[in-house]
Structure 1
């Protein structure tokens, strides 16, 4: 997304963010009843600057209502408050219930939600491929993937060790950490 002409707006939020959730591909499909899901990583901002190693998460949600189509989108969620960051440490975070969310704009395909971005716990930016009418991230569950975190960092490594304590590391994460820090 850094090549997007609207990237400076995203970078502005990331400068103030407590953490970032990156979803390379969130798949969504529905016809009255819909569902969405994808894999994600979250990185927290270090006190002295830079970013922690990534923690692995999954996102999943369902919906009922006027909706039709299918789409794949890349999503960046700037975690703006300690409340949302703390909820990210739990077994699951429900978007809209546990943390308010505001929608930023990337290109012309995304509108603003009713929550002002200055007050929101999280601000989300996305780039879509496909056609989908209806829906939002409200109600989507974001859950840690303990098995993937343990496989990447070693047994017993939880999201707190990765995102808060900053004690987990893996050389494979260096390019992502550098890309976020280099803005």
Structure 2
């Protein structure tokens, strides 16, 4: 009889502790809101810097972005690998120069590789239909949900006009400039709440 009472008491305590833990997880403290605001401000500042670098590096890119339906910028996609690679970054979607939402990108790869690198990845939605499809998705994968044309440079140093006819154009910037011959297929992009 006594062991049944003890078990009941132990179960009641476990339920109470579990309930308190759940309440603690769902409560937003004032400092959490400040942290979230500073995270958004940090991402926005990094997006501004990545776009400036794009405009300085790729002739005609400012006009391409300003005439687009939207631009998704991941200022620092960090990748590391040792045979199997993984990449992760956070960024923002901008429409008419204003941030609309925040996103994360992840990608994986298998093959002979070693090391770590950081790059900026920028997706330009040249049509409203491509942007709408992206925004309505619950998780968008480059190459599966839409073909992403990697930006290439023409002989005159400007963006190749055939590339600009695609609904989604991708730019990959490294420390040395625009990365050529890169594939963006397989990058999974998901909206995050900040």
- TM superposition score normalised by structure 2: 0.58
- Residue 151 of structure 1 corresponds to none
- Residue 87 of structure 2 corresponds to 36
Root-mean-square deviation over aligned CA pairs: 2.9
Q: How does 1:12-161 map to 2 (within 5 A)?
A: 12-45=63-96, 51-89=97-135, 90-104=137-151, 116-129=162-175, 136-145=183-192, 147-148=193-194
Alpha-carbon distance in structure 2 between the residues aligned to 1:53 and 1:8 = 24
- For residue 63 of structure 1, report the CA deviation from its aligned partner: 1.5
Unaligned ranges ≥5, structure 1:
46-50, 107-111, 149-183
2:55 matches 1:8: no
Identify the structure with the greater helix proportion: 2
Asked if the contact 1:38/1:59 (under 8 Å) is kept, the reply is yes
| 1:114-151 alpha-carbon deviations (Å, 9 max, x no partner) | xx513422212232249xxx973211011111x31xxx
- For residue 105 of structure 1, report the CA deviation from its aligned partner: 5.0
Query: Is the alpha carbon distance of 1:68 and 1:120 closer, same or farther for their aligned partners in structure 2, counting shifts above 3 Å?
Result: farther
Asked if the contact 2:72/2:91 (under 8 Å) is kept, the reply is yes
Segments ≥4 residues shifted beyond 4 Å: none
Unaligned ranges ≥5, structure 2:
1-50, 154-158
Q: How many residues align?
A: 133
Query: Is the alpha carbon distance of 1:32 and 1:41 closer, same or farther for their aligned partners in structure 2, counting shifts above 3 Å?
Result: same
Determine which structure has greater relative contact order: mean sequence separation of CA pairs < 8 Å that are 6+ residues apart, divided by chain length.
1
**Residue 136 of structure 1: SS of its match in structure 2?**
coil
- TM superposition score normalised by structure 1: 0.61
Q: Which protein shows a greater Rg? A: 2
